[in-house]
Amino acid sequence: MERIAIYPGSFDPLTYGHLNIIERGRLLFDKLIVAVAHNTAKKTFFDFEERLQILREVLKDIDKVEVDGFEGLLVEYAEKKKASVILRGIRTVSDFEYEFQMALANKMLNPSLETVFMMTDARYSYLSSTLIKEIVRFGGSVSSMVPPLVEEKLKEKFRKILQEDNR
């Protein structure tokens, strides 16, 4: 049987930290579905379509990796995709608390679905999507933190916001 894992997240935006988890995670499974969450309650910088489009472009040549979007309960999406594993990344102790709670809740909803955690690569342990947005907002370079396409899209979007504010 094919072993399918899902790596869900907001990816707002995708960082080299996420990419590292994807690159390492895909080697453990037959297929890794990177699933962008369409969460209407959570306000994101890039809308759902933009995040999906960025991931599709950046991950298009990576073997065994598929990009998709999902809405609603992750366990239901996993069942639909015939996935047996949820992959998540951990950076800090504070990540752990939230991830632990989510993993237990998902386990209760579907006991056959396992959550697998992968430790961040030390090089990316400080990286977060929030930090990256702050740096770009104040004009800093994030070229060592995100793929070129992501940096380009971030700058473009901030430029647009500034123009609208100045009107």
Q: What is the 3-state secondary structure (H, E, C) of 105-154?
A: HHHHHCCCCEEEEEECCHHHCCCCHHHHHHHHHCCCCCCCCCCHHHHHHH
Stretch that binds ligand ADP, among 27-35, 56-64, 67-75, 84-92 (CB under 6 A): 84-92
Which of 19, 127, 136, 146 binds ligand ADP (CB under 6 A)? It is 127
Catalytic member of 26, 88, 129, 133: 129
Q: Compare residues 24 and 64 and give the one whose CB is closer to ligand ADP.
A: 24
Structure-block tokens of residue 94: 């504070």
Q: Compare residues 76 and 162 and give the one whose CB is closer to ligand ADP.
A: 76
**Strand order in 31-37's β-sheet?**
65-70, 31-37, 4-9, 85-90, 114-119
Q: Compare residues 88 and 153 and give the one whose CB is closer to ligand ADP.
A: 88
Among residues 90, 87, 115, which one has the least CA distance to residue 103?
A: 115
**Does residue 10 touch ligand ADP according to CB under 6 A?**
yes
List the catalytic residues: 18, 42, 91, 129
Task: Please report, as ranges, the residues that interact with ligand ADP according to CB under 6 A.
Answer: 9-11, 15, 17-18, 21, 88-91, 95, 120, 124, 127-129
